[in-house]
Homo-oligomer: A and B are copies of this chain.
Amino acid sequence: MLVSNHARPTLEDVAARAGVSRATASRVLNASPRVSPEALEAVNAAVTALGYQPNRAARALVTRRTGAVAVLFSEPEPKIFDDPHFARLIRAGARALADMDVQMVLMLVHSPDDQARAHRFLAGGHVDGALVFAPHRNDELVSIVKKLPLPVVYAGKPWGSLRGMHLVDNDNEGGAVLATEHLKSLGRKKIVHVSGPLDELSAIDRLNGFRAALSLDDKAVARVTEDGGFTREGGRKAMSALLARVPALDAVFVASDLMAAGALETLAEAGRRVPQDVAVVGFDDHVAIAEHTSPPLTSVRQDSDEQVKVMVEHLMKLLRDETVKKKQQMLPTVLVPRESA
């Protein structure tokens, strides 16, 4: 019997079969230009014949590259699985990284324990880079990641100085302007806002867009805005508060679809018809929510899939040591009209 060896073939085997040295075989695999056409073909043939797969560990050992990327979320877990937004981000990350043949290591980092673990893990060199979703003010995760010599791309603007940071953000402010202008164009006069938690810059940007579109001063903003914490329940409560404070309101721009769903419930309970009495615009355009509220929700679309894809591409460039033209990118948002406004 020749080779009934059940073990996985190594580069040595490939080289032997192709009649070249290990070095040449390696060069073929890594697309080095310094290799003759014949050798190239012979090696490729051997690779397919043997079903050869490079040993990741051996490669990582010498290249000091792991072929893995960490995806870090600092959000508390309940939020992560109540808000479909996160499922979408995770899914997009899995897809985009798989397309690059990179392993995705998902970490949920909230408790101090998690943070310590994350620090150990990232400092341990177990990944080549990281995608970080940490929107909150003074987020410990950001501090941890910042001081590590690790390429990182952030989703949205992390709090604090943005100097030298790589990030991909959505045009939150622009989207908010879109939403508010839309309500104005419907002839609404008393427009209020359910904001996200104001320790997140995306929430602040949306608030700023709302404010700018209506040219409100500080006092006016305070009166017509209520924090809904980016949760459904928060949306309900914020809407109640606004109804109490501004009974004559005829439109509301809600900074997330999940909150908008809560707000719609409150409006229904209060007997306000949507959109006749109150026009409602959400943010996210999360179809699983927006298409199932009653009435279906007009919303601002931010393309999370695209955002994550761009983040991944950006990170890959960093890993390849390419110079990136723009460290900070902004993705456009568009208004998706449905029936609520």
On whether the beta carbons of B77 and A91 are closer than 8 Å, the reply is yes
CB distance from A251 to the nearest CB of B (A): 24
Q: Which residues of B contact A55 (CB under 8 A)?
A: 61, 125
- Flag whether A106 is at the interface (Cβ < 8 A): yes
CB distance from A144 to the nearest CB of B (A): 15
- Flag whether A16 is at the interface (Cβ < 8 A): no
In the complex, chain A residues 276-311 whose Cβ is within 8 Å of any chain B Cβ? 287-288, 292, 294
Q: Which of these, B56, B61, B94, contacts A126 with CB under 8 Å?
A: B56
Q: 0/1 per residue, A28-43, Cβ < 8 Å to B?
A: 0000000000000000
- Flag whether A58 is at the interface (Cβ < 8 A): yes
On whether the beta carbons of A57 and B53 are closer than 8 Å, the reply is no
On whether the beta carbons of A288 and B104 are closer than 8 Å, the reply is no
Report the nearest B residue to A56, measured CB to CB.
B126
Q: Which residues of B contact A94 (CB under 8 A)?
A: 106-108
On whether the beta carbons of A107 and B98 are closer than 8 Å, the reply is yes
Q: Which of these, B51, B90, B114, B294, contacts A106 with CB under 8 Å?
A: B90
Q: Which of these, B56, B87, B117, contacts A81 with CB under 8 Å?
A: B87
With the chains together, A288 CA to B66 CA distance in Å? 37
On whether the beta carbons of A103 and B53 are closer than 8 Å, the reply is no
Q: Which of these, B57, B103, B108, contacts A57 with CB under 8 Å?
A: B57
Report the nearest B residue to A58, measured CB to CB.
B61
With the chains together, A61 CA to B55 CA distance in Å? 8
- Flag whether A95 is at the interface (Cβ < 8 A): yes
CB distance from A187 to the nearest CB of B (A): 30
Q: 0/1 per residue, A205-217, Cβ < 8 Å to B?
A: 0000000000000
If A88-B81, A91-B108, A103-B105 touch, whether A57 touches B61 (CB-CB below 8 Å) is: yes
CB distance from A77 to the nearest CB of B (A): 6
Give residues in A with beta carbon < 8 Å to B: 8, 51, 53, 55-58, 60-61, 66, 68, 77, 80-82, 84, 86-88, 90-91, 94-95, 98, 103-108, 114, 117, 120, 123-126, 232, 265, 287-288, 292, 294
4 other A-B residue contacts (CB within 8 Å) besides A57-B57, A57-B60, A94-B107: A58-B61, A90-B90, A91-B108, A94-B106
